[in-house]
Amino acid sequence: MYEEKIQHTKQQFAIIGNAPALNRAVEIAMQVAPTAMTVLIFGENGSGKESFSKIIHSLSPYKHGQFIAINCGAIPEGTIDSELFGHKKGAFTGATEERKGYFEEADGGTIFLDEIAELPLTTQARLLRVLEYGEFIKVGSSKIQKAQLRVLAATNIDLLEAVHKGKFREDLYYRLNTVPLRIPPLRERGRDITILFRKFATDFADRYHVKPLQLTEEAEKTLLAYHFPGNIRQLKNLAEQLSALEVSRDISQETLVQYLPPPRSSLPVLYQGAAASENQQEREILYKVLFEMQKEMHELKGLVFELLTTDDAAGKQLAKEHALLFQNITPDNNAAAAAMQVIPPSSPTDKIFTYKDEEVPEEEDLSIDTKERVLIKKALERHQQRRKEAANTLGISERTLYRKIKQYDLD
């Protein structure tokens, strides 16, 4: 009899499959639904967490109220308190009128908070008060409001690990985790994968007015062995692609593999935008260091000049050592000699060293803006004003290059 109730519930909420872990999840949802206990649903993206939240709502005392599902990760941090708890008129810029939040709207019903781990810590504290005392305060108000509702939450990460990292409140974790409900990923559901594929293939055959797909034996084995990181959502997309794009209705292993993305690497992927920004910062720092070194070289040459023009023997000896130093550290040794020449005395009364004052380099404009303008101009000239290629050479975005061109009047 109880097995029949489970099957009836699965049919009612379009939950397809008969894996033991799936049936156990449905059973827990049915058992906890009539109570007022908070349920924390664990499951990967695309595994069907929202469907289980609807089972709990429909079988609960709150079924006559509203069911509101919220993706916490999709709401900006700056507005999430207002979205959840509402705000008073004038509470912040743009708050031209009073607004109800989701908790007030769901009063008497159920609110489902998906991706609960994305909530800011301050919002987590507000949520804890709702769970403990059934009350909240609107943004910009001092009035306490009551709400009688069922709170369900879901996550696809290890919340206990988030607690240890300080990203999730420990007290909220234990308050939410009154009843943990784990939804098995698709890869753990065995033959459910082929059952779901056939169901999706039939649905899309009706939509596109074609015959349903048929998997060969080898293709079916490949499908069962695949990891499916996107779970049911990925399997559904796969069935739709094959139904729409393949002429043959018999799908071989070779054909199927072409539509299956390769397994994801376990190595972290660096966000390219962040990499470009870091490279740009490193480049600017390098420019500053080089310009400072060049400035110090000019100052050092000036010091050598002063030592060369003194009558002090120790000073002249120090000047000789600095001249040798220039020859060692300058990429082109002849450049050092051109900047500072040692001329033999023409008579005993002449100074031992004579510095060719006219060859002392003029002080350069060492500003970052000047050097940046020169580099941009050279890059544009090299690529015949093709801005996209010039931007790639400079390691900046086209948008940044356009802004710099306007800034330095290089049009």
Q: Give the separation between CA 364 and CA 351, rounded to whole angstroms.
A: 30
Query: How many whole angstroms separate alpha carbon 222 and alpha carbon 228?
Result: 11
Supply the CATH number for residue 199's domain.
1.10.8.60
The pLDDT, as a whole number, for residue 93 is 84
Q: Are residues 255 and 385 in the same domain?
A: no
* Residue owning tokens 């910062």: 281
**Rounded Cα distance, 342 and 308, in Å:** 9
Last residue of a domain, one of 184, 218, 242: 184
pLDDT of residue 216: 94
| Alpha carbon 86 to its chain's center | 28
Do 29 and 123 belong to one domain? yes
264 within a domain of the structure (yes/no): no
What are 131's two structure tokens? Answer: 């769970």
Compute the distance between CA of residue 92 and CA of residue 107 in angstroms, rounded to an integer. 25
Say if residue 342 is in the same domain as residue 293: yes
- The region that residue 100 occupies, defined by phi over 0 for left and psi between -120 and 50 for alpha, beta otherwise, is beta
DSSP H or E run through 196: helix 192-208
137 and 18 part of one domain: yes
DSSP 41: E
pLDDT, one tens digit for every residue, the chain (411 residues)? 578 889 999 999 999 999 999 999 999 999 999 998 999 999 999 999 999 999 999 999 999 999 999 999 999 988 999 999 999 988 888 888 989 999 999 999 999 999 999 999 999 999 999 999 999 999 998 899 998 999 999 999 999 999 999 999 999 999 999 999 999 999 999 999 999 999 999 999 999 999 999 999 999 999 999 999 999 999 999 999 999 999 899 999 999 999 998 866 444 444 444 444 455 555 666 656 666 676 666 666 666 555 555 555 655 565 555 555 555 544 444 444 444 444 444 444 444 344 444 444 555 566 677 878 888 888 888 888 888 888 888 878 877 887 788 888 887
Give yes or no: residues 10 and 153 share one domain.
yes
**pLDDT confidence of residue 47:** 92
3-state per-residue secondary structure call for 48-90:
CHHHHHHHHHHCCCCCCCCEEEEEHHHCCCCCHHHHHHCECCC
On whether both 50 and 103 belong to a single domain, the answer is yes
- Domain span holding position 170: 2-184
- Is residue 26 in some structural domain? yes
Whether 251 and 276 share a structural domain = no
pTM comes to 0.62
Same domain, 288 and 304: yes
266 is a domain residue:
no
Q: Residue 103 is part of a domain; what is its CATH number?
A: 3.40.50.300
Q: Which of 218, 238, 259 is the last residue of a domain?
A: 259
- Is position 265 within any domain? no
The answer to the question of residue 69 being in a domain is yes
Contact between 169 and 125 under an 8 Å Cβ cutoff? The reply is yes
Do 194 and 308 lie in one domain? The reply is no
Residues with Cβ within 8 Å of residue 75, at least 6 apart in sequence: 83
Same domain, 229 and 204: yes
Output the pLDDT for position 338: 43
Domain count, the chain: 4
In the numeric block, which tokens belong to residue 322? 């600095």
Any domain includes 170: yes
Q: Which two tokens stand for residue 129?
A: 């008060």
292 inside domain: yes
10 and 125 inside one domain: yes
Check whether residue 67 and residue 202 sit in a common domain: no
Instruction: Answer yes or no: is 267 within a domain.
Output: no
Please give the pLDDT value at position 357.
45
Residue that is last in its domain, among 231, 259, 287? 259
